[in-house]
Amino acid sequence: MAKAIEKAGIPTVHICTIVPISQTVGANRILPGVAIPNPTGNPNLNKRDELILRKNLMSKALTALSSDIKNQTVF
Amino acid sequence: MKRFRFIHYINQFFGQMGGEDKAYMTPIVQDGSVGPGKELQKILGEEGEIVATIICGDTYFNENLKKASDEIIAMISKYNFDGFIAGPAFNAGRYGIACGEISKVVQESFGIKPVTSMYPENPGVEIYSKDIYILKTGISAVSMRNALKVLGKFSLRLIKGEEIGFPEEEGYIPQGRRVNVFMEQTGAIRGINMLLKKLRNENFKTELPMPIYDRVSSAPAIKDVSHAVIALVTSGGIVPRGNPDRIESANATKYGRYSIKGIDDLEKEDFITVHGGYDPVYALEDPDRIVPVDAMRILEKEGRIGKLYDYIYTTVGNTTAVSSAEHFGRDIAEELLEKNIDGVILTST
């Protein structure tokens, strides 16, 4: 899906935990997630710290979307 | 006659330990055959014996590739074995990667030739088919019986040192190797014959298929994120409670589009996951762990982005065919282009 959307001209960042799968399938902008069942969260943290983690992850995602890339990039 | 000794690798599900609740289990070893190994043992018959079975959680393995492999290698070292069989993994992505990785590591550590099997679209195929023998299976465990027959027979032939033929004859995924064979006609004649057939619009078979590197070029970066409209998309199966579009928990045939207008935080009372391929406990506690609406709203309020798009898009990426995912992606992109969306954050489990 990430590839098809990027292909249509909309920059797309793929947040996933098993980065090699994303690389193999061919997403262009890849951001490693936290864990398979909770890519954008961490149940071991308290609510406040978890939200900070998520916000930081999203900031990185925005960096990925605003970066000019030529080749597949893991952010 | 020597009875060859095999180790069999399976995941927590086929190892009869449990489903996603056990996906984080660390590897264990059991003497003899377990689950599908029982049927595999029948096929190996008098010629082979499954001396031990390794059972490991799919998520544990995938999140700890090196550590899990090391642990398994240490466990099996005490067995004096001749062969290693993993799977079949069918179209289960994490299981396929685990089967591929452990087979590769066993090959490197013990100098034997492991065999595994899975569906050709399994991501494990792309990553490991050049290193190990991966036999083709059907898409799901419905084809188990036949998959085990092929796996067992091939493993015996390989271990006995019988000559292994071309991939299309043997049913394994091509490994990208070149072998010398004698032909009646020279390459020049064969080449010209192919060209003539092509010119006559007849079917011809190339002797060297080109690999398909299906890559897409990158879209231009967002110039000014602070004015951009960002959409959230997921393959993690987050839907409004009740699953109004009845998206399937595996092999999804559709995606859904759900309003988050006026929602600052995905509440567990309103949103659930219907994905059948990971432990849903954490997502059900807080759906933002899959679709990060709360964090995006904060960034929106802080002016870091222009706007969070009013809708999220969801499907279930659990053994879903690549062709379906491509199709969903194209349709979603079309809708997002119409709405002038500048960028997409897509989360996968």
**Hey, are the CB atoms on B322 and A25 less than 8 Å from each other?**
yes
Q: How many residues does chain B have?
A: 349
CB B336 within 8 A of CB B294: no
Q: Report chain A residues whose CB lies below 8 A from the CB of B348.
A: 14-17, 22, 33, 39
CATH code for the domain defined by B4-170 = 3.40.50.2300
**Do B332 and A15 lie within an 8 Å CB cutoff?**
no
pLDDT band at B211 (very low <50, low <70, confident <90, very high): low
Query: How are strands ordered across the β-sheet holding B343-347?
Result: A73-74, A29-32, A12-16, B343-347, B229-234, B307-314, B256-259
Please check whether residue B125 touches A, CB under 8 A.
Answer: no
Q: How far apart (Å, rounded) are the C-alpha atoms in residues B210 and B206?
A: 9
Residue B85 has pLDDT above 70, yes or no: yes
Question: What's the confidence (pLDDT) of residue B323?
Answer: 81
Can you tell me the distance from the alpha carbon of B217 to that of B235, in angstroms, rounded to the nearest whole number?
22
Q: Per-residue pLDDT tens for B215-267?
A: 899 999 999 999 999 999 999 999 999 999 999 999 899 999 999 999 999 99
CB within 8 A of B227, min separation 6: which ones? B306
pLDDT of B168: 87
On chain A, the residues whose CB falls within 8 A of the CB of B216 are 3-4, 6-7, 26, 28
> Is the predicted pLDDT of residue B209 greater than 90, yes or no?
no
B219 with A58: Cβ contact below 8 A: no
> pLDDT category, B213, cuts 50, 70, 90?
low
Residue A4: which of B218, B230, B330 has the nearest Cβ? B330
**pLDDT confidence of B65, banded at 50, 70, 90?**
very high
Which chain B residue is nearest to residue A5, measuring alpha carbons?
B333
Range A8-15 average pLDDT: 96
- The structural domains of chain B, with segments of one domain joined by +, span 4-170, 225-347
Please provide the average confidence, as pLDDT, over all residues in chain B: 94
Say if B284 is an interface residue toward chain A (CB within 8 Å). no
DSSP E strands, chain A: 12-16, 29-32, 73-74
Mean pLDDT across chain A, nearest whole number?
A: 95
Span B141-150, average pLDDT:
95
Report the Cα A57 to chain-centroid distance in Å: 8
User: Residues B305, B284: contact at Cβ < 8 Å?
Assistant: no
Rounded to a whole number of angstroms, the distance from the CA of B59 to the nearest CA of chain A is 7
Nearest CA in chain B to A38: B289
Q: Give the predicted TM-score (pTM) of the model.
A: 0.75
**Contact criterion met (CB < 8 Å) for A39 and B235:** no
Q: Please check the confidence at residue B145 and state whether its pLDDT lies above 60.
A: yes
Please name the residue of chain A whose CA is at the shortest distance from the CA of residue B98: A18
* pLDDT digits 0-9 by tens, B33-44: 999 999 999 999
> Does the pLDDT of residue A25 top 90, yes or no?
no
Contact pairs from chain A to chain B, CB under 8 Å: 213
Q: How far does CA B171 lie from the centroid of its chain?
A: 19
- The mean pLDDT of A12-16, rounded to a whole number, is 97
Q: Cβ contacts of residue B204 below 8 Å, gap of 6+? A: B193, B194, B197, B198
The pLDDT assigned to B212 comes to 59
**Rounded mean pLDDT, B46-73:** 97
> From the centroid of its chain, how far is CA B39?
24
Greater confidence, B98 or B180? B98
Q: Please give the share of chain B, as a percent, with pLDDT higher than 70.
A: 99
Residue type, B9: Y
Report d(CA B112, CA B134) in Å as an integer.
15
What the block records as the tokens of B335 is 């809708």
> Cβ contact (<8 Å) for B215 and A21?
no
Looking at CA atoms only, how far is residue A8 from chain B in angstroms?
Answer: 6
Residue of B nearest to A60 (CA): B345
Whole-angstrom Cα distance, residue B27 to residue B156? 26
